[in-house]
Amino acid sequence: MKKLFLLIVTLTGLAALMAAPVGSRLSLIPEPVSVITHEGSFQLPAEVRIAAPAGEDTRFVKSLLEEKLGAAPGRLVRWVTGDREADIVLMLNNADDAETGEEGYRLQVTPQQITLRANKPAGLLYGVQTLFQLMPPQIEGGSRDEGTEWQIPLVEIVDYPRVGWRGLMLDVARHFFTVEEVKQYIDMMVKYKYNMFHWHLTDDEGWRIEIKSLPKLTEVGAWRPEQIGWFGDFTPPSPDAPKTYGGYYTHDQIREVIRYAAERNIQVMPEIDVPGHSSAALAAYPELACFPGSGDHFVRTGAPFLDWNTGGRPAAIFENTLNPASEKVYAFMDKVLTEVAALFPFEYIHTGGDEAPYTFWEKSPEVKQLMKREQLEDMAAVQSYFGKRVEKIILAKGKKMMGWDEILEGGITPTTALMSWRGIQHGIEASNSGHYVVMSPSNYVYIDLMQGDLSTDPRVYNSLRLNRTYQFDPIPEGANPAYILGGQANLWTEQIYHIRQAEYMTWPRAFAVAESLWSPREKKDWNRFVEKVEDHFNRFDYSRTKYSPAMYEPVVTVKKEGDDYFVTLTPEIEGLSIHVSFDASTPDCFSPRVTAPLKVPRNAYVMRIVSYRDGKPAGRMMHISVDDLKKRVR
């Protein structure tokens, strides 16, 4: 009898397993605060009846549900008013649910019904994103599989974010992205519960925001000769080279992006990067420079114009800083900020402040006079003077100022907020002295850095692997949490020529950042995260979003001992078998498997590397010439 009972239990368990949808392990990114699962599933009926609150503020989430579910083969969406007859019920709480707060939600899936409750429409939006992630990947579109089982696992989820500022920055100056592409980027952000789009709108290589009172900013500053190759190392273009590359956003387009983002609970923070990074502004209005008549004021193309080998802040070969001693500059800033403040509803305007070379300030008689008049001791104090003048303009327009952490050097006002990018230390210090801080340290969240090997990724000065990004903690030890607004990853686009590459650089690292910003610290689990990333790669194949497979490819390090070179291949994730050849053949799983450092054969000229997982190739074949290997010796 006991055996029969056991058999029945086992068979029932098996049947439940078999009935579960394919790939039914939960793969939620970011990981929710609390998930309870139950056996079984909710079967999405052919006609999906949805009840949701009326009103403009839930219009977008309703349209999203209708669009996604209505596009699933064989599904129709019908709106109903009675909760009891609905398959999916969205509710806004009458009395505030303190635990879930402004952006959280409670999602329950039973065999009969899906209910989603939140205090605010933002919570409903995020709950719906989680619901989509509980559905088969075909919900993401692409070539939808007619045979999809539209089953949803039974869960009870309580969820809310760890920090309020969950940002991604896109640099549209080095390379330009159209409004449609920016929207596409924002579409991806909302799926992973980001709520801040930092729009880096101006830099040496382009001015991308229309300023009606200063038309030359975009007539001149938005255009440059096109060059392709390794940005930063181009040959200088001839002065008469046609300026065919560029673009900018009109006021209407900016309002459109802000509206689009707001529907998705995403705020847009503009950045006008001054006093450095201003070549495009100086190309348009050279009178804003210390040396207006130099004839050297151009929109930069990616040909060298700064010297980075100073061990600290760069030196300028060509002037790219506004003249802090000129009243024309403050009149200019007032005009720019008047229009920026009127366009962007967000409370902060980011005014850069990073990497301003002091080279030309040091040579300027006007700056010397300013220092004497204002009793400014050094160039950091000059930059601080500039920053304080700019902040006054911003405050007068009812906005607040944020800047990169260099602005701390000469001192800032108590009301200035800081974005900590040169590591976390500046952010920790600023938070302890009562400044609001967004953590964006380059050594964790600079997603312009290579995520894979030099042999597979465009060359950038450093690399940043997924596992490192996953260790990002926006509230590090020593910081005052009351002043940490949150965190953000930054995508600088020197080496990123188009939106597909922007996607490739963003994902999967932005999964790691999303989880670092949203999920409780104790819920993070690297091995589990990797499994989820693989499931989301599958989703991206449906949505046709590009991502980097670099986590399947080993980290390559080289050592020299005597005349011999040894290569160590370190896998980033578990479960890989790595195979190599030194004889120029294409390795496969029959090639030697790597288990220890490899000695490079004396006359080999190329090393090829491939990873396998569960008997199948994973990631890309890496080809590294032996000459390149030798250059990697540390």
Return residues touching ligand ACM (CB under 6 A). 354-355, 404, 421
The residue whose Cβ lies closest to ligand ACM is 354
> CB-wise, 208 or 264, nearer to ligand ACM?
208
Helix-then-strand count for the chain, H and E: 18, 27
Report the C-alpha gap between 548 and 575 in whole angstroms: 18
Q: Which residues of 279-310 are buried (b: 16+ CB within 10 A; e: fewer)?
A: bbbbbbbbebbbbbeeebbbbbbbbebbeeee
Catalytic option among 355, 453, 515, 553: 355
> CB-wise, 230 or 461, nearer to ligand ACM?
461
Smallest distance from the beta carbon of 270 to ligand ACM, in angstroms? Answer: 15
Contacts of 66 (CB under 8 A, 6+ apart): 50, 77
Smallest distance from the beta carbon of 405 to ligand ACM, in angstroms? Answer: 8
Report the C-alpha gap between 420 and 437 in whole angstroms: 7
Report the C-alpha gap between 268 and 189 in whole angstroms: 12
Question: Is 355 assigned a catalytic role?
Answer: yes
Smallest distance from the beta carbon of 355 to ligand ACM, in angstroms? Answer: 5
Query: In 3-state terms, what secondary structure has residue 626?
Result: helix
Pick from 419, 411, 415: which is nearest to 484 by CA?
A: 419
Using CA atoms in the order 87, 90, 96, 99, what is the torsion angle rounded to 10 degrees? 70
Pick from 475, 494, 497, 492: which is nearest to 484 by CA?
A: 475
> CB-wise, 313 or 524, nearer to ligand ACM?
313
> CB-wise, 107 or 356, nearer to ligand ACM?
356
> CB-wise, 421 or 540, nearer to ligand ACM?
421
> CB-wise, 120 or 313, nearer to ligand ACM?
313
> CB-wise, 127 or 353, nearer to ligand ACM?
353
Question: Is 531 assigned a catalytic role?
Answer: no
Task: Give me the residue label for tokens 């720019």.
Answer: 336
Smallest distance from the beta carbon of 262 to ligand ACM, in angstroms? Answer: 26
Token representation of residue 175:
């390379």
Q: What angle do CA 335, 339, 345 make, to 5 degrees?
A: 140
Smallest distance from the beta carbon of 354 to ligand ACM, in angstroms? Answer: 4
Catalytic option among 200, 277, 426, 435: 277
Smallest distance from the beta carbon of 440 to ligand ACM, in angstroms? Answer: 8
Smallest distance from the beta carbon of 586 to ligand ACM, in angstroms? Answer: 39
Query: In 3-state terms, what secondary structure has residue 344?
Result: coil
Report the C-alpha gap between 389 and 81 in whole angstroms: 56
Catalytic option among 103, 203, 204, 263: 203
Question: Is 296 assigned a catalytic role?
Answer: no
Report the C-alpha gap between 610 and 530 in whole angstroms: 19
CA 320 to the chain's CA centroid: 27
The answer to whether the beta carbons of residues 607 and 567 sit under 8 Å apart is yes
Which residues are annotated as catalytic?
203, 277, 355
